[in-house]
Amino acid sequence: MIWVTWRQFRAPALTGAALVAAAAIGFLITGLRMHHSYAADLAACAPLHACDGTTPAARALGARFSQLQRGYEPMFELLQLLVVAVPALLGLFWGAPLVGRELETGTHQLAWGQTVTRTRWLAVKVAVVGAAAVATAGVFSWLLTWWAGPLDELNGGRWAAMTFASRGIVPLGYAAFAFALGTTAGLLLRRTIPAMAVTLAAFVVIQIFFPAVVRPHLLPPTTVSYPINQDVVSRAQGIDFRNDTADIALLNLPVPPGTWVTDAPPIEDSSGHAVAAAAHPECFPGLGSDEVTTDFADSGTCLAQYDLHQTVSYQPASHYWPMQWAETGIFLVLGAALAGFSFWWIRRRQN
């Protein structure tokens, strides 16, 4: 049965291997060049924070880092999208046809008419092709994690939705889930094209829903309340006027480096009510004119007398790998549940 499965899977496997090899060559050629440029610039201003200085040399080196970011940014976004799409493609082209095509063409009758039981027939298919799918996603994830290392350091964050989903071990969980999803869809629909459409639609919905709704709550966030005063305002990167100045909020409050801010509601008073900018016009020169001045050096001192605060919830940098494991585990469990359902369904089928 393993030999038969390999014979059926040989063409997709060879095609996938060729694509992985081509991608690896592209990653290595561009990645080595980028890593060399980054290492050379880093060595010129070690440690890295020296590039943030005000001397002409430091500014020049900082400009070189910015140029490096801008030069590779389009490729960075494209490769991230590619790695995020790999699990979906595996579910479409390896998972959905795995059983759906055999049921559609009737070739499953040949296997079921022999001594091979239908559960063993399905188990071998799922084990062989599923392992190949997870391995393929792992290779792409490792290549991108290595390739984007310098850019991740310069960007200073690994929490962006697409960045988190394309790094580390999360793509392995996605691949297992997408493959099981495609296999189950093919088994239920008994048609390859409809199964591919269902797999793609379901995977896209989950990729939108999970980062926005579930991921921020995988681990309890840390919540900090910042008093609004001159010190806090001066360390923020500006003030945001929301809902036509009905709410105000500080931008990029001084949270620890490497954190993911999951919630930053507007500035509130001691009673927990949002504060409108119009309630304190003396603190915002130019309020009500066509353009509010962006110089808020004195706004913090002015607002301090009103006992205001802004609460920020964030996931600390130490939660990155626990959340990677948690998300991977969730999708592995979902994939195992779909596989278990497929075995239950195929055993109940009489025809």
34 within a domain of the structure (yes/no): yes
Token pair listed for 84 = 């995020």
Do 37 and 178 share a domain, yes or no? yes
- Nearest Cα neighbor of 65 from 46, 80, 79, 83 is 46
107 within a domain of the structure (yes/no): yes
Do 182 and 255 share a domain, yes or no? no
- Nearest Cα neighbor of 35 from 166, 144, 146, 157 is 146
Q: Which residues of the chain have pLDDT under 50?
A: 48, 293-294, 350-351
Phi, psi of 248 (to 5 degrees): -135, 150
Mean residue pLDDT across the chain: 81
Determine the pLDDT at residue 64. 65
Do 117 and 242 share a domain, yes or no? no
Residue at a domain's end among 179, 195, 217: 217
Determine the pLDDT at residue 201. 94
Determine the pLDDT at residue 296. 63
Q: Are 211 and 165 in contact (CB under 8 A)?
A: yes
Do 245 and 204 share a domain, yes or no? no
Alpha carbon distance 285, 294 (integer Å): 9
Do 121 and 171 share a domain, yes or no? yes
59 within a domain of the structure (yes/no): yes
Do 123 and 256 share a domain, yes or no? no
327 within a domain of the structure (yes/no): no
Query: pTM of whole model > 0.85?
Result: no
124 within a domain of the structure (yes/no): yes
336 within a domain of the structure (yes/no): no
Pairing of strands 247-250, 260-263: unpaired
Residue at a domain's end among 217, 249, 264: 217
351 within a domain of the structure (yes/no): no
Residue at a domain's end among 217, 242, 259: 217
Instruction: Give just the sign of the alpha carbon dihedral 54, 60, 65, 67.
Output: positive
Q: Are 83 and 169 in contact (CB under 8 A)?
A: no
Do 165 and 57 share a domain, yes or no? yes
pLDDT tens readout for residues 289-334: 555 544 566 777 787 788 888 888 999 989 999 999 999 999 999 9
Q: Are 315 and 259 in contact (CB under 8 A)?
A: yes
Do 75 and 137 share a domain, yes or no? yes
Do 142 and 291 share a domain, yes or no? no
Do 111 and 192 share a domain, yes or no? yes
129 within a domain of the structure (yes/no): yes
Do 264 and 192 share a domain, yes or no? no
3-state secondary structure the chain: CHHHHHHHHHHHHHHHHHHHHHHHHHHHHHHHHHHHHHHHHHHHCCCHHHHHCCCHHHHHHHHHHHHHHHHHHHHHHHHHHHHHHHHHHHHHHHHHHHHHHHHHHCCHHHHHCCCCCHHHHHHHHHHHHHHHHHHHHHHHHHHHHHHCHHHHHHHCCCCCHHHHHCCCCHHHHHHHHHHHHHHHHHHHHCCHHHHHHHHHHHHHHHHHHHHHHHHHHCCCCEEEEEECCHHHHHHCCCEEEECCCCEEEECCCCCCCCCEEEECCCCECCCCCECCHHHCHHHCCCCCCCCCCCCCCCHHHHHHCCCCEEEEEEECHHHHHHHHHHHHHHHHHHHHHHHHHHHHHHHHCCC
Sheet harboring 222-227: ordered strands across? 222-227, 309-315, 260-263
pLDDT tens readout for residues 196-212: 999 999 999 999 999 98
* Domain encompassing residue 200: 2-217
Do 242 and 208 share a domain, yes or no? no
Determine the pLDDT at residue 157. 73
- Burial degree of 344 (CB within 10 A; 0-12, 13-18, 19+): exposed
Q: How many domains does the chain have?
A: 2
Residues, the chain:
351
Determine the pLDDT at residue 133. 92
